[in-house]
Structure 1
């Protein structure tokens, strides 16, 4: 694995750029990669490594809080101790992004950009070596190919959300998308240009369709089945992609397929809160929740609770729910019980006083990154039904989610679009959806409670709905065009 790691480090330094010096000068590198990936065991080790890097990249604090922070679901907790005790400020690693003032020279998201293309490169390596495995059956090779293709499509999709304007930003989605990497750096150095948004989505969909044609019944990797892509979670991803692409019929059909045929059921009202409160396992309706890293003793070493958790009045995460979010729930909505209200010393007019903050119970203890769960598919199907002129079906799906939450049921199909977006915000809060939902629906940003940004609102359209591509990468690739305004 050490040679595969050497390649990983090199890719991080020169993602999709001129890595020829490394590949030509590192003694034995080409042979070592060949040795690593010449048999099934080596490829599966590499695939587990890709999953590990993917988990770290999406659970990374920058990305994990991005959509909810930018959209207004999140505010910050006060400093625990020291000369700044009780003061509230944005963490330095995301301060520029939070104010919609990120810059390309030292982007807050450079590590995410580089890490994403590193993951894609490793997935491409696996795709290139797997067909030649002599010790794997065709079914095994197909399963490996399916998972690698899905990872590749997923990461490209995440990159498109961060670095490309929403699909409907221009007619026919002719505006810039992202670089879509179709082969590993080992195959040869390329200086690709960005695809259009339309082409980006087409490539994502094609990879997912190919993956779905290759999936078997189970992953070849050990560990919990919810930790690896399978046919159901790949379909959940495809449904999300179709939703963002505004391909409504395919979004409806794909979401309906998962709801009907996955064998996964929604959590019930009776155990909804208890399931989110449990210490270790993901909730039962989870379709994909990557395995958390563990230390030498097998204990979870880091989790989403690092950002959202509450242990005591002096040990807690940086992020809590804004009142903008908590005020959206009706008094009888059981989801209000998912907020853990705790007093924290806060500096108010120069005096330390106790102020109540709402921590989320979704991500306490050993909580992993929730990539997909069934509730999202119901809301995807609802939105797609509405857009395909089936408002009654849309209302039924919204009411399924609302009934479980003990919220008042909708009785009219008026304003269904707004009700769907509202339900997505309430049900999927802290799960990385809000900002992207607002962008794809071409809505402005309004952050009120707890907003300490220089820009608490953002009118749509705006060039600041996307982040700058790191200047390091722009300088290395003459064909890589920067986002406007950066």
Structure 2
């Protein structure tokens, strides 16, 4: 927050830059519709950067055990395994507050929230925008604010059910920009955090006109259907089963989006640029005027050749969950890579995901997740027939066997989410929500490969630099 304040005082935020070499004040920038839309577009750019960064992009799957490391290509350590610097401490469940691996994510997230608050504070005064346009702008800014707060709560606050009344620490929820004065807020409870997230989302849903004001693919911006998808996920995390069921059902029935079918499931994931057809929201990667992408998730998951590949591959912990005939096994690119074993270089097989080859954007929401949210909510509401139906919809498409009468539905659903949504940022949070233990086996090179629930290490430390500035900010337990 201090860094954000400094940036505002110096007018260094990206969206305040009018032309190369010239900058204008916040008031000047945001007094016209064009200026506000430039600011809103800047939020999407910053959001994409925030979630695509290595720390967040791999966090849930690495910590949960879906990922392991590929052998090094670096001379002197070729074939060996090293933990990337950006996640070195947190990988061992030993992040430290003084130099947290996630400190950049924390600061950037609150900067995005501050930008959203600025837009909300200036939009009503626009004289060159219609009421419908102003409402659409506010809806997208509110959704962005809610979404980023939700991501922060997943990382810095224990799951909603950690205490019976969700009275444990949530996060700081900012609803005012720093231009109104630097504040020193305390953390909300988890219950209040979720109430504020839901309030922002439901307010946004009443404002949307669904007439996009920004240039670009429709699936890259917040709208009614993907905001409802966000709300369904929030209700799921809150364990508000009735609302989770109804909201996910609304998305499934009324979004106009259909599930991918079996015949082109693999081909759609293999597309180098376009998202899959069931996408509800993808934060598309920025491209230059010549069409060149400036970065993508392939930076972490991509394979080009045996001499050029990225750090993260699928673990056998994940691969072993798929049945032989499951077509999702085809989503893994098997490659024999040189590995140092007993001081000798030998070839061992590694499995790169095909989900993120080429120039993929960050998948925030897609329809399959909504089926699995509805299934989980139905199960908790004792509607086992609907839960089975939704789980089998996903399994049948994958050519996996349907559920048997003797299967543990709750465990089957947990594993179905793990298989279907792998590498999309869910596993660690699913484990916490279900109050499960973590046991990472294949490829774990940490001194600590397991974590027993409950544990203070299911959340990360608030960066100490922030706590020093704000004396009202309480640190997470054990940090």
TM-score (norm 2): 0.96
Aligned residue in 2 for 1:329 = 322
Contact 1:399/1:410, CA 8 A, preserved across alignment: yes
1:411 deviates by 3.1
Any stretches of 5+ residues in structure 1 without a counterpart? 1-10, 24-28
The 3-state SS of whatever aligns with 1:173 is: coil
Instruction: List per-residue Cα deviations over 1:166-224 (Å, max 9, x = no partner).
Output: 00111210000000001100012110000000000000000000000001122200100
Tell me the distance in 1 between the aligned counterparts of 2:420 and 2:382: 24
Tell me the distance in 2 between the aligned counterparts of 1:476 and 1:296: 41
Tell me the distance in 1 between the aligned counterparts of 2:79 and 2:193: 45
Find the partner of 2:73 among 75, 80, 85: 80
Change (3 A) 1:131 1:422: same
Find the partner of 1:169 among 162, 165, 171: 162
1:415 deviates by 1.1
Any stretches of 5+ residues in structure 2 without a counterpart? 12-21
1:79 deviates by 0.8
Aligned residue in 2 for 1:252 = 245
Aligned pair 1:195/2:184, yes or no? no
Find the partner of 1:208 among 201, 207, 221: 201
Aligned length: 469
Tell me the distance in 1 between the aligned counterparts of 2:199 and 2:431: 26
Aligned residue in 1 for 2:385 = 392
Aligned pair 1:441/2:434, yes or no? yes
Aligned residue in 1 for 2:212 = 219
Find the partner of 2:339 among 333, 346, 350: 346
Aligned residue in 2 for 1:3 = none
Aligned pair 1:14/2:42, yes or no? no
The 3-state SS of whatever aligns with 1:266 is: coil
Aligned pair 1:69/2:62, yes or no? yes
Contact 1:392/1:413, CA 8 A, preserved across alignment: no
Aligned residue in 1 for 2:27 = 34
Contact 1:252/1:381, CA 8 A, preserved across alignment: yes
Matches within 5 A, 1:261-300: 261-300=254-293
Instruction: List per-residue Cα deviations over 1:103-160 (Å, max 9, x = no partner).
Output: 0000000000000000000000000000110000000000000000000000000000
Q: What is the root-mean-square deviation of aligned Cα atoms in Å?
A: 1.5
The 3-state SS of whatever aligns with 2:88 is: helix
1:18 deviates by 8.4
Contact 1:19/1:189, CA 8 A, preserved across alignment: no
Aligned residue in 2 for 1:320 = 313
Contact 1:340/1:361, CA 8 A, preserved across alignment: yes
The 3-state SS of whatever aligns with 1:189 is: coil
Contact 2:70/2:313, CA 8 A, preserved across alignment: yes
Matches within 5 A, 1:455-474: 455-474=448-467
The 3-state SS of whatever aligns with 2:165 is: helix
Find the partner of 1:305 among 298, 303, 321: 298
Aligned residue in 2 for 1:132 = 125
Tell me the distance in 1 between the aligned counterparts of 2:326 and 2:8: 58
Aligned residue in 2 for 1:362 = 355
Find the partner of 1:51 among 44, 57, 61: 44
The 3-state SS of whatever aligns with 1:14 is: helix
Contact 1:343/1:356, CA 8 A, preserved across alignment: yes
Contact 2:43/2:115, CA 8 A, preserved across alignment: yes
Tell me the distance in 1 between the aligned counterparts of 2:127 and 2:23: 19
The 3-state SS of whatever aligns with 1:147 is: helix
1:414 deviates by 4.3
Contact 1:346/1:352, CA 8 A, preserved across alignment: yes
Contact 1:232/1:258, CA 8 A, preserved across alignment: yes
Tell me the distance in 2 between the aligned counterparts of 1:339 and 1:22: 47
Contact 2:284/2:360, CA 8 A, preserved across alignment: no
The 3-state SS of whatever aligns with 1:271 is: helix
Aligned residue in 2 for 1:4 = none
The 3-state SS of whatever aligns with 1:172 is: coil
TM-score (norm 1): 0.95
